[in-house]
Amino acid sequence: MLQVWLTDRRHAAAGYWCLAMWVGSFCTLLFTLRPFGFPLVTVGLGNGLASLAYALMWAGFRVFDRRTVYPLVVLGGPLLWTVAYLGLPPVAQDVNVRIVLTSAIVSTYSAWIGVDVWRGRRDEHLPTRTMSAIFFLTHGLIYSLRIPMAIVSPAALGNGTAYSAWFALFSLELFAHTILAAVAMLVLIKERGEALYRQASRTDVLTGIANRGSFLDDVQARLAGRAQGTLMIFDLDRFKAVNDTYGHVAGDTVLTGFSARVSSRLEEGMLFCRFGGEEFALFAPRHDIERAQAFAEMLRRDVAAMSVSCEGREIGVSVSIGLADAATFGADFDRLHSAADRALYAAKEAGRDRVVRATPAAELAGLAGRMRAQVVPAAGAAVAG
C-alpha cells in the first residue's frame, strides 16, 4: 500500500489506507507486549490505535469515493475509547467491558464503510465494489456479535488479554478481515485506474464528450439491435474564420462551449460525440424524423442565441445540422451517416444556420449526379482515344 501511494500521490485514498495499516501494525505490536504489563500502553494506547486504524480506513474509503471526510468522525472512536478507558474504572478493570466497547467502535466503522462503498455503486460501478461492500458489512455484523458473547459467556483474563474459544474465533476472523481488506483496497485502486484509462480512450480530450470511435461502437451496437432513431450531424458555421480572426484558443473555447450547451440539452439515451474538428454527431434513439427535427431546431436556436466569451471578446456561434433516420435509410451506419452528411451539405449550401433532413428523393438526385460525374469523364476519355 505504501508503494502504491509513493508511486502516484494522486491516490489519496491509498495514503489513508497505508496509514491505517501502519497504525494497525503498531497497535498489534503493543498487543503482543501485554504479558509484560504496562496496561496503559499495551491496553489503553493499543485499543485506541485500533480504533484509529478503522477510522483512517473509513476516511480512505470516503476519499476514494470523493466524499467529505469529517475529522470529528475520524477522532470520535479513538476519543470515545480514550475517555472511557481513562475515566471509567470498569473499562480499565474488566476485559469484557473493553470487548463490548471496542467491538461497538470497530463494528460501527466497518458498517459505515460498507454502506459508503455500496452507495458508490450508483456513480461508479467497479466489479469489486459490491463484494467489498458486503465484505465490510458482514465484518461489522460478525464483530458486533462479540458484544452479546462477552455478556453471555464472559472471557477470562490471562497474560494481559482475554482468552476463550469464541474470542479466539473472532480474533481469527479479524486477522482474515485485515488481509482481505487490504486486498480489496488494492483491487479497487486497480479497477479505478483501468476504468479511467478506458474512459480516456473513449473521450475527446478537448470537450470531454465521447470521441468518434466510442460513438461509432455505441451507435452500431444500438442499430444492430434493430433500434430506431435519427442521426444528426452538426457543423459549426464559419469555424475557420473564428480561428483565423480570434486565434485557436478562441476556437477551442467555441468548441467546448458548443459541446457543453448541447450536452446540457440531451435527453435520456442520446449519444453525442465530437466527430472531428468542428463536426459533431448525435444519435437520438426512439426519435422519428419529425421529433428529431424539432429537437434539432431547438438546439440550433439555442446555439444561435449563445455567445462565447474569450479574452474579453464575445464570439457569436451558429450551427448547421443534417438529419437522417433509420426508418428511412435503414440500420446500416455508413448509409445513415452518408445521408445525414449530404443533408448537412445541403444546409450549408442553403445559407447555413439551419436544419435539413435527408429524403429519399434527395438521395436519388445525389446518386444521379454522381453517376453523371462518372460517365462524362469516361466518355471524354473514349473520344480522346
Has 268 been annotated as catalytic? no
Contact (Cβ atoms closer than 8 angstroms) between residue 39 and residue 45: no
| Beta carbons within 10 angstroms of residue 243's beta carbon | 16
Range list of β-strands (E), 62-177 = 156-158, 161-163
Grid cell in block for residue 118: 455500496
Grid cell in block for residue 72: 470529528
Contact (Cβ atoms closer than 8 angstroms) between residue 17 and residue 57: yes
Grid cell in block for residue 327: 426508418
| Beta carbons within 10 angstroms of residue 306's beta carbon | 16
DSSP β-ladder status, 156-158 and 161-163: antiparallel
Catalytic pick among 191, 267, 278, 279 = 278
For residue 316, CA distances in Å to 250, 310, 353 come to 11, 11, 12
Residue at 200: amino acid letter: A
Q: Which of 156, 176, 180, 15 is nearest to 99 (CA)?
A: 156
Grid cell in block for residue 61: 474509503
Contact (Cβ atoms closer than 8 angstroms) between residue 61 and residue 113: yes
Q: Is 233 helix (H, G, I), strand (E, B) or coil?
A: strand
Contact (Cβ atoms closer than 8 angstroms) between residue 23 and residue 52: yes
Grid cell in block for residue 162: 482475554
Contact (Cβ atoms closer than 8 angstroms) between residue 51 and residue 102: yes
> Percent helix, strand and coil across the chain, each rounded to 5?
70, 10, 20
Report how far residue 42's alpha carbon sits from residue 5's, in angstroms, rounded to the nearest whole number: 29
For residue 201, CA distances in Å to 83, 248, 262, 308 come to 52, 24, 22, 28
Grid cell in block for residue 255: 468548441
- The label of the residue with cell 495499516 reads 21
Which positions are annotated as active-site residues? Answer: 278
